[in-house]
Amino acid sequence: MTQLLAMGDQIEMGWYICTWIPHLRHVAKKYDETIVVTQKGLEYFYEFAGKFEYFECDGKNDRWFYHGKLIEVPKNIREKYPAAFVYTPTQKRCMEKKRDYRKYGEMAEGLKYDLVIHARKASKYGTGNKNWPLKNYIELAQKFKGLKICSIGTRAFYVPGTDDQRNVSAEILCNILRSSRLVIGTSSGPMHLASHCGTPHVVFSDRTYQKVVCCYNRQRYENLWNPFKTPCKVIDQWGWRPPVKEVIKAVESFMAKI
């Protein structure tokens, strides 16, 4: 039996959802069995794995560069599968075009929302400036208070007046996204995940050129990381903190179409 021993989610969420997992899914086809090393709770994304080994690093969720060093498969796990081919994420492999995509989530009537809000509150690596203020999300939710709305995310604000669906399992999160009409929030892993669930989304970003992917964030959402051509509206002319009225306008425009 040929075995593939591969690291799972040891990079930033957008990268592993949009590049690494699809590439790993493609590579796994050549092996009889794939063993994925990941964190507990994320097995849902690796339906092609025959077995899981669990590894917790130091708690940094964004490990794309990991201070210049990508994490390798731990020695004790490698030794359990001496004949397996070891495959770990590198920038080159994450840029590899050979990818097999899967649309995540299942329709579930009880998890259907008109508006799903990811109110990012992370500040990792000094990125707190990307967080749209909670008061803006509250104003947004008040504007659409007649709709069914929920809050999602792990490091995310709870928006008063919405259903609290933060910190749910990966599968439930994907079911919420797949079942709902529209997702809104700052550029983040859950917003990229929305495109892989086929859920329209309104996302805030700036216009910084991303050297690692040779494009702007807008292009990642509209094309590069959007294999299912999921409708999206990228608001980037005001940077990470667009005026509330402009976001409301974008939501109203989407709601009129979906």
Terminus-to-terminus CA distance in the chain, angstroms? 48
| 100 within a domain of the structure (yes/no) | no
> Please, are residues 213 and 206 in contact by the beta-carbon 8 Å criterion?
no
Q: Is residue 30 part of a domain?
A: yes
CATH of the domain at 21: 3.40.50
Domain membership of residue 103 (yes or no) is no
- The pLDDT, as a whole number, for residue 86 is 96
Joined tokens for residue 15 = 């990268």
Taking 90 as the threshold, does the pLDDT of residue 156 lie above it?
yes
Q: What is the pLDDT of residues 92-136, one digit of tens each?
A: 888 888 999 999 999 999 999 999 999 999 876 667 788 999 999
Lowest model confidence (mean pLDDT) among 121-135, 202-216, 217-231, 244-258: 121-135
Beta bridge partners of 184: 117, 202
Q: What is the spatial distance between Cα 34 and Cα 24, in angstroms, rounded to a whole number? A: 10
Last residue of a domain, one of 94, 118, 148: 94
pLDDT in tens, 7-25: 987 678 888 899 999 999 9
> Are 69 and 142 part of one and the same domain?
no
Q: Which residues contact 131 (CB under 8 A, 6 or more apart)?
A: 119, 120, 121, 122, 123, 186, 240
pLDDT at 121: 92
pLDDT tens digits, residue range 164-209?
A: 999 999 999 999 999 999 999 999 999 999 999 999 999 999 999 9
Q: Are residues 73 and 192 in the same domain?
A: no
Among residues 9, 172, 196, 197, the alpha carbon closest in space to that of 94 is found at 9
Q: Check whether residue 236 and residue 130 sit in a common domain.
A: yes
Query: Based on the domain organization, do 64 and 154 belong to the same domain?
Result: no
**Boundaries of domain holding 175:** 109-255
Which position has the higher pLDDT, 237 or 65? Answer: 237
Structural domain ending residue among the three candidates 59, 94, 129:
94
- Do 22 and 135 sit in the same domain of this protein? no
The Cα-based distances of 30 to 2, 24, 26, 111, 237 in angstroms read: 9, 10, 8, 36, 45
Q: Are residues 76 and 118 in the same domain?
A: no
Q: How many domains does the structure of the chain reveal?
A: 2
Task: Tell me, yes or no, whether 161 and 115 share the same domain.
Answer: yes
- CATH number of the CATH domain containing 231: 3.40.50.2000
Q: In terms of domains, do 88 and 156 share one?
A: no
Domain end call among 29, 60, 94: 94
Cα 151 from chain centre: 15
Same-domain pairing of 145 and 232: yes
**What 8-state DSSP symbol labels residue 62?**
-
Whether residues 116 and 9 fall in one domain = no
User: In 10 A of CB 30, how many CB atoms?
Assistant: 10
Clarify whether residues 65 and 125 are in a common domain.
no
Q: Assess whether 81 and 135 both reside in one domain.
A: no
